[in-house]
Structures are given as structure tokens and as C-alpha cells.
Amino acid sequence: MKRSPILLLALVVSPGPLSARENSVAIGVQLGFTTSGVVADVGLGDLYLQAGINYPLGITYIASTTDSSEKFFDIYTFNADISQAFALSDSFDLKIGVGTTAFTNFGPVLTGFAGPVVKGEYWIPDKKTGIFQ
């Protein structure tokens, strides 16, 4: 079965919706290369803490293009970041901070990476929906 590189690109750059930012807690979904799943974003004053429980769809996609008999990995990802939002307009914030992603199969091995986080957050005017990247 031939796979389209468009799907891989969509997993890397696609945004996910969050629920209303009127509250300090937003719950939603994220779709990404290593992190596709549920995410929560909690406002802590000027800082925001985001945590997610995910499955690595991008890595699974790459595995499905090989001749391997294993099409789905027994691995899950957890991500967390802390960032500060800078309002660039009434409905757009730029968040800058640090984050980490951990890979686990709930066994004795845990691996991951950490680094800078830069993402945009757009809230649709007069709606309780936003899109972040």
C-alpha cells in the first residue's frame, strides 16, 4: 500500500482546537508527529502549563511504509511544557517557553527529549474555540 507524503506533512504541522480561553483551563486535542492525543492547557498567572497524553502517529506512519510486520508500536508519549504568552493582538498570542516529550511502553525504559517551545495561539473572535500551533 502506497502512503502519501501529504499525510506525513499534515501530522507535523496540523493545529488542534482548544475549548474556551475565558477560563484558565482549556482542554482539547493535538495532532502531531510524536504527539497526537489529548492536551490540557492551564493558566498560572502569566505562565501556562500544558500537558498531554498521546500516541506517535508520525512514527507509526513511517513504520507502516516499511516491510515490517509491526504496524503499530507499543509506545506512548507524554508531553509537558511551560510557556509565557505574549499578546500580539486581541485574538492572537505567541507562547514561548520550554517543553519535554517522553516516550514509554510502561516498562523499565523511558526516553525523551526537551527543548524550546514557540507556538502561536489564535482565538476565534466571539467564539469559545481556538487554534494553536
Closest CA to 32 of 79, 99, 71, 96: 79
Which cell numbers in the block locate residue 36?
Answer: 497526537
CA 119-14-70 angle, to 5 degrees, is 120
What pLDDT score does 92 carry? 86
- For 5, phi then psi, to 5°, come to -65, -15
Segment 22-48, tens digit of pLDDT: 557 888 888 888 778 898 889 888 899
- What single-letter amino acid sits at 22? E
> What are the domain boundaries of the chain?
5-124
pLDDT(7) > 70: no
pLDDT at 126: 75
Segment 73-118, tens digit of pLDDT: 678 889 999 999 888 888 888 899 999 989 888 888 788 999 999 9
